[in-house]
Structure 1
């Protein structure tokens, strides 16, 4: 042992022997990977935390792990030397920890002998390296509330797509970053504000807010108009479609024709087959109104389903209460029947006890005056009879008391059950009223929607001019009421419009023959160029400990909640004021591991958070009070989402399951399985109970909160990281490791896909 110590000492540099060692500079680096990985705040094996000298001195189950000035007596040194049957780190451990080298052990001993002094932790400097060209997975997606735009993060870049025209409309970039990047590190999280004018993105130790600016096209920009189709082609289209064509234009590639028809419609035709491609009707306002009515119909359907389920639950409860009520009434009847008999049995027992007591008293007096053996024997017999008489009386009284108590308890049960039934009756009545109100609202919305759709087919305005955009992704029409309207050619969605607000310009020209021609013209411009510019960068020192894994706007758009924290040490939630970027609330270590997902309740009063600690927490925002702690996952909680009515919360787990929670009672509603790998994201679709999910098993899957599968899009080429849906469920969007953003319709039919290039 002495020889070993001498050899170890000889390995220590002379400068190290002379200078006073610092914990964080000289000791912490080799303890971190080989000791602290199992003895830290989160994983405290043997109740020992080795992250600071103070905690090591405090020790664990075996006492202090170090004694300042006495390295030979310190358990940490003995364990490192594998002395006294201690071997740390243990062989084949899961943390990948290895034995300390002789030099490291000697440094540890010298530091302890110098007093094991603590020093100020050194700030970790992170140097981010440039990404390889092949590193561009989609880790996060966001969709605007109106379903118009979808944003995805690829590597450190952000792309925004127009789902109406199905095209890339912007690559969001920070001028301070290279190659059009939005962040230096990976984009971990994205969220649109409720009004769609802001986009928040989270990355390593920073959050950025991007502002949408709708720029008008330059006045001197190149202009073009679609050439008209040939008269012969228009004649064939009119005959095939049985319509009268008032205006027409040909796409630049000659494959499609757009016509303005006498029924007020604008139609796109395939030039080769003469088949209709899409019919364009309606305005931006009518489309918005139809979306609102669709939401109302779905929300009121959900409300009816909930209220009917409550009625069913209470009716079942009433049946059980009726059984209990019957038993209680039977008990009352029985007790009332037997009680008089039991009461009648008491007086004889009392009389017998009194007589027995009198006999004992007389014999006691007699025996006291003359100690006679016969009298003594007679007294003992009398005393035995007295004991029996007393016990008989006690039993009779107890029988009466029990009968009275049973009757009283049964009467209390009747009162309680009757009150419960009355409360249920009141609740059922209220639920029936709610069902009726929801049905009325649903029927009205459905009727309004049908009327609105019908009105689109009877428009009085006629199309007097039509044109394709240069890329044929948009179609414009000028109507005789002065409205200029633009639709997305792929989806038929009205996207922009303008009405004449300026006076017409009139010019008169003359001809050599003496005739005059008056021309009256109105110039209108419609169309904007979306530009996302950096509004604010939030990266102040100490605000974010590590990656910002979740960003979420509050329903009113005034607050941005962020989730992150230091991996394996704590999960932090920070609320930022959107207008100023300043933190309004900070919940440090809300979870014991990094926060991965967040969602506000629809009323904005609660926040659900999921983390790598396998826990879901629901917290009241105003007070910071925890309302629910939900345990049901066996691995990281990767995503959380409230249903539109706030009554159900859905959570996704890396163990390959989705759990739905009844937020009225705070208990698990259903565990939904069927995935073979991690469920990476989930979102409720609009105001329905349907949930779109993505998973590592290369699938996008839609289930409802009862666990029934609605749709399954299988056999995708790679691991899917995120999936979202438009509020009406007509468009599904997902992305993953292969960097492709995929778009499907509600049936799962592929509509488009976009790569990073």
Structure 2
């Protein structure tokens, strides 16, 4: 036995006599000699045990003199006192572990006192038990010596602060422990592990959190990466420009895909994809009559009413060059060309000139061509400018830079008709021909290689920068997407994205409601079956009662006869007491009577048993009928919800049948084609298959409708009928919209500690946030997304930190997973706790609902996935695929399958019904902290220790993309 253990045991013995070591109170000293001798004996034993530690114990027990406090301000609890208590007292006196029923974590609980009474008397430190035991003036000394938590006695300076705080009234103070009051340090750049990840509902964006940064990746245009930045952190010159000061622990996309919630220490931030200001007017001094863009999309040139051609840097919307003397009635703007886009081409009468955009000097000029040029494209490989003339022919002009000439070759015509438009995308020159044709000519020979023949005339056309796609628009507004390699139609671009997404949401909601009705119908059938079974049991019990009641008569008759015979035999024996035969006759009669009694008792017992069975059956019928009634009430409500969902789905279906019209078309990237309508509304389409991907609303009046658009670097530049020019950003920025938690300088956050998990309600109106103080509390709150206000706090939701949250698909319930080893479900409308699910032997890291609401699955740090009957709380299956903690889990919509990941480097798709692994998503070389999937399971993403975000095709497990952390 070590000396510390011995000391503790002997201290306990002394305590049994009502004494404390050191200076005992007079009333605590035993009065009898016997008790005193016992005390001395115990004290002697203790003294012997501590012979090697006597000096240190004596030092520990010496009273402490408080140092004078010279702060120049009042003592602040959070700043001055809380750190002292945290280091030396809170380990044994906290919410989760309240020795002596005492919690020293805050002023409220300190002033509340312990089970023995108050411990602080405001203004009177010498009457305050907390001060006296800390000063070693009164037992039991605190912190005690020795102890198992490495707590140390207070220094004179610390004791002085405690004393002064009590003198000043033991106030909470204005300064609270919050993120705003902390001295934050930069997070090491090498710490790039991904702790949070989510996919947007439509499978285009994936967000990942590394340290305090958040990156949003565009799976359609993979080089489009957005890093979220909180302007307040930039303004305050925080350690680095980032989304959060602390690690990003959780994130969740809003159901509309236009908002992302992220969390850190005591804060949740809501970021919105700002589509309201994607169109920016270019500040120009005059109205525009013509507009062209460079082939790389970096510059635009406009010809204006004041006779000046102005070159605009599309990255900044600033005019960078002005070329005067080019009035629209004498000169026609053709294009911007050259290796560094250094030339502007213009047509004057039937000649063509290349002008240096830097000084307006003539770089080269052609002889008269016989027809005016109206469009141009420069083919660098052949050092030639190809111009489109008014007569619909092409005219190659060979550039001789030294001679400053443009030598004309013979004109080229199309056998399909007059050429009306040129667009260059090496190695193809797209020529829109009057009528239905678009020719793709090789830039080296200028001969047609592919001919696209649409069903209607084309008024606008465009070719992708990589020359793989062509888009056209007909006079009636029908836009079409074509494969440039073979001229085949890929898609008609007329889907109303808004209506399509509404339909998808209504379809999902209808599926949820229909599934719920089917489940409840099944439950009603089962409950009615139980009623029938119980009624059968009641019928049998009644029959048994009748049968057993009737059966009582015979043994009762026999008992009566036996009693009479016994009496007769006894009477006969009394007359002849020594008659052996009569003795035997009496003995036989008594034996027969006993047997008759037993037979009657059995018969009556059978009646009692049958009666009890009848009572139990009647009770069971009442319970079953009540359950049927309850289920039917739910069914009626569910059917009403299903009917409303069906009606909404039908309306959405009709709305989705409507098509949208386009006026102009252009490519903003190889992967994205843009169409613009008369209001300036821009729609983006996936160039691979023509799927609608984005909608950027416009509101231009008829007088300002677009007359020309051209693709720029990830943008469109638009010429309007009113002579204005605007730039449309095809990739709207994500901006900070709201901050939840902080309540102002000096005030505590609504969140007590780190926020570890987030979840939006299915309708997007509510945001649930979970976290808490480790080993002390499990915090669960509900927020209104529209105004950012706290809706509800679920008091004492868990006894330890909340790690996972998920709303049921109908939005009525919230499931939570926590470090206290529980999964719980709460009612959203009332906030009431509905049910607990117990079975994990370690922290529960995540939880997810199956779409029909019948099943929950949870991920545990005990390396297990557990599947639960959501209604009964019964555990239906344990899945033990993983060898390390299961860190994340998501059901796939209405399917009976879910995605999960683990610290053992693996990501799986499992089937809940049998626990089987459907598919593994390979590639993570280290601990996987988080995973996410789209509602249809088409995409799976995961983040691990190496900081690389991996995205797979959810259907076949093939890796689609990897995104490494940004280089510092």
Q: Give the TM-score, by structure 2 length.
A: 0.58
Q: 1:258 — aligned with what?
A: 470
Q: 2:208 — aligned with what?
A: 152
1:16 aligned to which of 46, 57, 65? 65
| Residue ranges of structure 1 left out of the alignment (5+ in a row) | 59-63, 82-87, 90-96, 367-372, 508-519
Cα 1:464–1:237 shift into 2, 3 Å: farther
2:603 aligned to which of 400, 407, 411? 400
Q: 2:187 — aligned with what?
A: 131
Task: Check conservation: 2:81, 2:162, Cα contact below 8 A.
Answer: no
CA distance in 1, matches of 2:795, 2:706: 69
Work out whether 1:188 is the aligned partner of 2:244: no
Using the TM superposition, give the Cα deviation of residue 250 of structure 1 relative to its aligned residue in structure 2, in angstroms: 3.4
- 3-state SS of paired residue (2:758): strand
CA distance in 2, matches of 1:197, 1:387: 94
Task: Check conservation: 2:861, 2:885, Cα contact below 8 A.
Answer: yes
Q: Residues 403-451 of structure 1, C-alpha deviation per residue, up to 9 Å, x if partnerless?
A: 4445556777888999999999999999999999999999999999999
Q: 1:42 — aligned with what?
A: 96
CA distance in 2, matches of 1:109, 1:9: 19
Using the TM superposition, give the Cα deviation of residue 481 of structure 1 relative to its aligned residue in structure 2, in angstroms: 14
CA distance in 1, matches of 2:280, 2:704: 22
CA distance in 1, matches of 2:639, 2:162: 77
Using the TM superposition, give the Cα deviation of residue 338 of structure 1 relative to its aligned residue in structure 2, in angstroms: 8.1
Q: 1:597 — aligned with what?
A: 804
Using the TM superposition, give the Cα deviation of residue 129 of structure 1 relative to its aligned residue in structure 2, in angstroms: 0.7
CA distance in 2, matches of 1:713, 1:561: 29
Q: 1:574 — aligned with what?
A: 781
Cα 1:742–1:132 shift into 2, 3 Å: same
CA distance in 2, matches of 1:481, 1:79: 77
CA distance in 1, matches of 2:844, 2:159: 42
CA distance in 1, matches of 2:768, 2:548: 68
Cα 1:349–1:131 shift into 2, 3 Å: closer
Cα 1:10–1:610 shift into 2, 3 Å: closer
1:474 aligned to which of 656, 672, 676? 672
Cα 1:481–1:68 shift into 2, 3 Å: closer
- 3-state SS of paired residue (1:16): coil
Task: Check conservation: 1:280, 1:492, Cα contact below 8 A.
Answer: yes
Using the TM superposition, give the Cα deviation of residue 655 of structure 1 relative to its aligned residue in structure 2, in angstroms: 2.1
Task: Check conservation: 1:72, 1:78, Cα contact below 8 A.
Answer: no
CA distance in 1, matches of 2:227, 2:192: 14
Q: Kindly report which structure 2 residues correspond to 1:285-434, keeping only aligned pairs within 5 A, or say none.
A: 285=498, 287-288=500-501, 291-292=504-505, 295=508, 299=512, 343-357=553-567, 374=577, 388=591, 390-405=593-608, 408=611
Using the TM superposition, give the Cα deviation of residue 562 of structure 1 relative to its aligned residue in structure 2, in angstroms: 2.1
- 3-state SS of paired residue (1:753): strand
Task: Check conservation: 1:210, 1:532, Cα contact below 8 A.
Answer: yes
Q: 2:281 — aligned with what?
A: 219
Q: Residues 21-75 of structure 1, C-alpha deviation per residue, up to 9 Å, x if partnerless?
A: x9999998788567754675435799998879965979xxxxx999959969956
Using the TM superposition, give the Cα deviation of residue 167 of structure 1 relative to its aligned residue in structure 2, in angstroms: 5.2
Work out whether 1:488 is the aligned partner of 2:488: no
Task: Check conservation: 1:487, 1:496, Cα contact below 8 A.
Answer: no
CA distance in 2, matches of 1:647, 1:531: 39
CA distance in 1, matches of 2:706, 2:56: 104
CA distance in 2, matches of 1:74, 1:742: 60
Cα 1:631–1:756 shift into 2, 3 Å: same
1:710 aligned to which of 915, 918, 921? 918
CA distance in 1, matches of 2:654, 2:958: 29
Using the TM superposition, give the Cα deviation of residue 353 of structure 1 relative to its aligned residue in structure 2, in angstroms: 1.4
Q: Residues 352-404 of structure 1, C-alpha deviation per residue, up to 9 Å, x if partnerless?
A: 3135446757988x8xxxxxx94899999898677556534423422432344
Q: 1:752 — aligned with what?
A: 961
CA distance in 2, matches of 1:342, 1:482: 96
CA distance in 1, matches of 2:63, 2:546: 99
Q: Residues 507-551 of structure 1, C-alpha deviation per residue, up to 9 Å, x if partnerless?
A: 9xxxxxxxxxxxx98999876652333333331233222111123
Work out whether 1:502 is the aligned partner of 2:702: yes
Q: 2:123 — aligned with what?
A: none
- 3-state SS of paired residue (2:797): strand
| Residue ranges of structure 2 left out of the alignment (5+ in a row) | 1-46, 70-74, 118-128, 235-239, 284-290, 296-422, 430-439, 708-719
Q: Kindly report which structure 2 residues correspond to 1:543-562, keeping only aligned pairs within 5 A, or say none.
A: 543-562=750-769
Using the TM superposition, give the Cα deviation of residue 718 of structure 1 relative to its aligned residue in structure 2, in angstroms: 3.3
CA distance in 2, matches of 1:300, 1:572: 31
Using the TM superposition, give the Cα deviation of residue 652 of structure 1 relative to its aligned residue in structure 2, in angstroms: 1.5
Task: Check conservation: 2:212, 2:247, Cα contact below 8 A.
Answer: yes
Task: Check conservation: 1:162, 1:168, Cα contact below 8 A.
Answer: yes
- 3-state SS of paired residue (1:592): coil
CA distance in 2, matches of 1:506, 1:191: 37
Using the TM superposition, give the Cα deviation of residue 149 of structure 1 relative to its aligned residue in structure 2, in angstroms: 3.9
Using the TM superposition, give the Cα deviation of residue 713 of structure 1 relative to its aligned residue in structure 2, in angstroms: 0.3
Could you tell which deviates more after superposition, 691-700 or 335-344? Answer: 335-344
Task: Check conservation: 1:57, 1:67, Cα contact below 8 A.
Answer: no
Work out whether 1:729 is the aligned partner of 2:729: no
Cα 1:313–1:671 shift into 2, 3 Å: farther
CA distance in 2, matches of 1:660, 1:5: 58
Using the TM superposition, give the Cα deviation of residue 674 of structure 1 relative to its aligned residue in structure 2, in angstroms: 0.8
- 3-state SS of paired residue (1:176): helix
CA distance in 2, matches of 1:170, 1:723: 20
CA distance in 2, matches of 1:638, 1:726: 20
Q: Kindly report which structure 2 residues correspond to 1:90-101, keeping only aligned pairs within 5 A, or say none.
A: 97-98=149-150
Is the helix fraction higher in 1 or 2? 1
Using the TM superposition, give the Cα deviation of residue 290 of structure 1 relative to its aligned residue in structure 2, in angstroms: 6.0
- 3-state SS of paired residue (1:570): coil
Work out whether 1:140 is the aligned partner of 2:201: no
Task: Check conservation: 2:679, 2:702, Cα contact below 8 A.
Answer: no
Cα 1:754–1:398 shift into 2, 3 Å: same
Q: Kindly report which structure 2 residues correspond to 1:519-530, keeping only aligned pairs within 5 A, or say none.
A: 530=732
Cα 1:275–1:311 shift into 2, 3 Å: farther
Using the TM superposition, give the Cα deviation of residue 661 of structure 1 relative to its aligned residue in structure 2, in angstroms: 1.9
Work out whether 1:648 is the aligned partner of 2:846: no
Q: Residues 252-309 of structure 1, C-alpha deviation per residue, up to 9 Å, x if partnerless?
A: 3x442324399967335465xx597964644125642663476378658956985898
CA distance in 2, matches of 1:450, 1:68: 75
Cα 1:164–1:407 shift into 2, 3 Å: same
CA distance in 2, matches of 1:724, 1:539: 28
Using the TM superposition, give the Cα deviation of residue 686 of structure 1 relative to its aligned residue in structure 2, in angstroms: 2.7
Task: Check conservation: 2:197, 2:209, Cα contact below 8 A.
Answer: yes
- 3-state SS of paired residue (2:198): strand
CA distance in 1, matches of 2:943, 2:752: 27
Could you tell which deviates more after superposition, 693-702 or 299-308? Answer: 299-308
Task: Check conservation: 2:664, 2:675, Cα contact below 8 A.
Answer: yes
